[in-house]
Structure 1
C-alpha cells in the first residue's frame, strides 16, 4: 500500500462549493468520476499532481488523529512518487483552503503523521 499526503476536511459548505474551492486551491480541474473508481467522487490533475476527493470515508480515529471528525478526504498524489513535491502540493492546497476560509482541516502523511491542523 502506498503512502500519500491527505487533507481531511470538515465544513458546512455545499458539495459544489467545496469542489470549486479545491479546484481553485489545487489548480486541478475536478471532474465527477464514474462509479468504477470506488469511493472517489471527484478527481483531477495539475502538472504532476493528482487530486482525488471523497465526500465520505470510513477511516476511524487513530491515536491523536480524529479522522471521524473530518468527513471529507482529499488525497494528493505525485505521478512520479516524488514525496517532496507531493508534500509541497499538499501544503499549498491546505494553505489555499485555509485562506479561502470555512474549513476545519488536518493534513496528514500516510494516515499516521499529522503535518498541520486548522
Structure 2
C-alpha cells in the first residue's frame, strides 16, 4: 500500500504527528516542508524565487524502509520510520543527512522579510 501522496511537483508523507512534503523545484533543488497542521501554508517562499520552480520530471519509489524521490541530478530518501531525509547527488554521494532523534518538533516564528502593506 502506498503511504505517500504525489500531487504535481510535490510528495507528501504523514510522519509522527504531522506532514512532511518534498517539493521538486528543479533538477537541482528540492524544498522540504513540515507541518503539524492538516494542510501546508500557501505563503510564497522567502527563499526560492518563482523561476526556481520548473516542470521537472521526477520519480517516486517506495519500499518497506524508505520513499525515494529522484530527478536526473538529485535524490532524496525519506526514512519511513523517522521521517529523516538524506539527499544524494547523481553519483550517489551524500550531500546532506538529517538526523531525527525523538521525532520532529515545530515552533511557530514570526515571518520576516514580507511587505507590511
How does the TM-score come out when normalised to structure 1? 0.33
> Which of 1 and 2 has greater Rg?
2
Q: Decide which structure has greater helix share.
A: 1
Q: Decide which structure has greater strand share.
A: 2
Structure with the larger RCO, 1 or 2 (CA within 8 Å, 6+ apart) = 1
